[in-house]
Amino acid sequence: MKAFVLTQYKEQLRQIDVPEPELGNHDVLVEVHAAGLNQLDEKIRLGEFKQILPYKLPQVLGHDVAGVVLQVGPEVRAFKAGDEVFARPRKDSIGTFAERIAVPEEDLAIKPATISMEEAGSLPLVALTAWQALVERGNVGPGQKILIHAGAGGVGSIAIQLAKYLGATVATTVSAGNKDFVRELGADVVIDYRTEDFVEILHDYDLVLDSLGGENLERSLKVLKKGGKAIGIAGPPDAGFARQLGGNPVLVGVTTLLSSGIRRKARRLGVIYEFLFMRADGNQLREIAALIDAGDIKPVVGRVVPFDQTADVLAALEKGGVRGKTVVSHQ
pLDDT at site 52? 73
Domain with CATH 3.90.180.10 in the chain: 2-122+281-329
Cα angle vertex 200, ends 197, 202, to 5°? 100
| Residues near 50 by beta carbon (within 8 Å), at least 6 away in sequence | 9, 44
Domain with CATH 3.40.50.720 in the chain: 138-275
- C-alpha 146/C-alpha 297 separation (Å) is 17
- C-alpha 30/C-alpha 99 separation (Å) is 9
Whether residue 29 has pLDDT greater than 90:
yes
- C-alpha 108/C-alpha 64 separation (Å) is 11
pLDDT at site 20? 97
pLDDT at site 97? 98
- pLDDT band at residue 121 under the 50/70/90 scheme: very high
Q: Is the pTM of this model over 0.85?
A: yes
CATH H-level superfamily of 138-275: NAD(P)-binding Rossmann-like Domain (3.40.50.720)
**pLDDT tens figures, 309-326:** 999 999 888 777 789 999
pLDDT at site 231? 98
CATH H-level superfamily of 2-122+281-329: Medium-chain alcohol dehydrogenases, catalytic domain (3.90.180.10)
Q: Cis bond leading into 142, ω under 30°?
A: no
**Residue 260 vs residues 44, 201, 236, 239, 256: alpha-carbon distances, Å:** 23, 28, 9, 10, 6
- pLDDT band at residue 49 under the 50/70/90 scheme: confident
**pLDDT tens figures, 228-261:** 999 999 978 887 877 777 767 777 787 888 789 9
* Percentage of the chain lying above the pLDDT 70 cut: 99
Nearest by Cα to 173 from 137, 223, 128, 127: 223
| Residues near 56 by beta carbon (within 8 Å), at least 6 away in sequence | none
Q: Which of 10-19, 140-149, 228-237, 252-261 has the weakest average pLDDT?
A: 252-261
pLDDT at site 167? 98
pLDDT at site 274? 95
Whether residue 196 has pLDDT greater than 80:
yes
